[in-house]
Amino acid sequence: MNREELIKEINRLKIEKNAIILAHNYQIGEVQDIADFVGDSLQLAKEAIKVKQDLIIFCGVHFMAESAKILNPTKKVILPVKEAGCPMADMASAEEIREFKKKNPELKVVTYVNSSAEVKAESYVCCTSANAVDVVKKIGAKEVLFVPDKNLGSFVDEQIEDVKIMKWEGFCPTHERVTLEDVEIIREKHPAVKILVHPECRPEVFHAVDFVGSTSQIIEFVKNSEDKKFIIGTEKGIIHSLKKENPDKEFIILTEKLICENMKKTRLEDVYRALKNEEFEISLDEKTASKANEALERMLK
């Protein structure tokens, strides 16, 4: 099938199977365009709860599809590419968190959604990059363990004075590639242009820029700004969303290193196969899913 035929078949199967397609902002443009909803982790989590369709095709990475299944257990959730994982999510295991809790029973575990269902199940509350500061502020703990992203943990730590934050040694390989030198080079080329980065970047990077925020917060910043040009310091896929919403504005990627190989694995052909064959389905242990749901629901509340 050519591209037009593929899109037509996807739309036909969506109706036939009573399905919805959810996609992250980091997906390739043609996948974002075929989706019924595009957003960041927090927006997608909220959207997953509202789904009325029987089948969710989740164009993202494994932990995101897991979260959709946890929040909407009666729905069939399909991840189009089985191998689309998240290296940061693999940097913390449930066993490690359990061992830590045994040694530090007084600490509350705050877990970034970029984590496995098993790790979420060992956590007090989950958070996203959009709400991490608010979540840590509102749980009322004096001391927390922030899992697994040390950079987002550092960003949260700097925003809150009265909470001691212990940070896991995980990181996002895509955002970790961005260096202070990259910022200095792009700043020299475009001295009058604001630089917007994700808090998964290293502290020395987010200290050197004009705005730090989640994917949705970066999109909102651009939308509300009178500026016509921006330097974007998060995964390159966001530029597709930014251009669609702001056709009169110009976007420069901070560095070409900002590409997540896992987010780029899903193609239209994969979405078509996912709808046609209903694979690869996300299945979770009931007890794990229930405990993970408590942490996610606590976040949403």
- Are residues 157 and 144 in contact, defined by beta-carbon separation less than 8 angstroms? no
**Residue 104, φ and ψ in degrees, nearest 5:** -135, 65
Q: What is the mean pLDDT of residues 37-45?
A: 91
Collapsed DSSP state (helix, strand, coil) of residue 126: strand
pLDDT score of 277 more than 90? yes
pLDDT for the residue numbered 42: 81
Give per-residue pLDDT as tens, 76-93: 999 999 999 999 999 999
Q: Would you tell me which CATH number, out of the four given (1.20.1090.10, 3.40.50.10800, 3.30.160.40, 2.60.40.420), belongs to the domain 3-85+263-283?
A: 3.40.50.10800
Strands of the 211-212 sheet, one edge to the other: 211-212, 194-197, 229-233, 250-253
Looking at CATH, the fold of the domain delimited by 174-253 is given as Rossmann fold (3.40.50)
pLDDT band at 236 (very low <50, low <70, confident <90, very high): very high
Outline where DSSP puts E strands in 120-244.
125-127, 143-147, 164-167, 194-197, 211-212, 229-233
**Residue 14, φ and ψ in degrees, nearest 5:** -60, -45
pLDDT score of 41 more than 90? no
pLDDT band at 45 (very low <50, low <70, confident <90, very high): confident
Q: What is the mean pLDDT of residues 16-39?
A: 97
Domain spans in the chain, listed from the N-terminal domain onward: 3-85+263-283, 89-172+289-300, 174-253
pLDDT for the residue numbered 174: 98
Looking at CATH, the fold of the domain delimited by 89-172+289-300 is given as Rossmann fold (3.40.50)
pLDDT for the residue numbered 7: 98
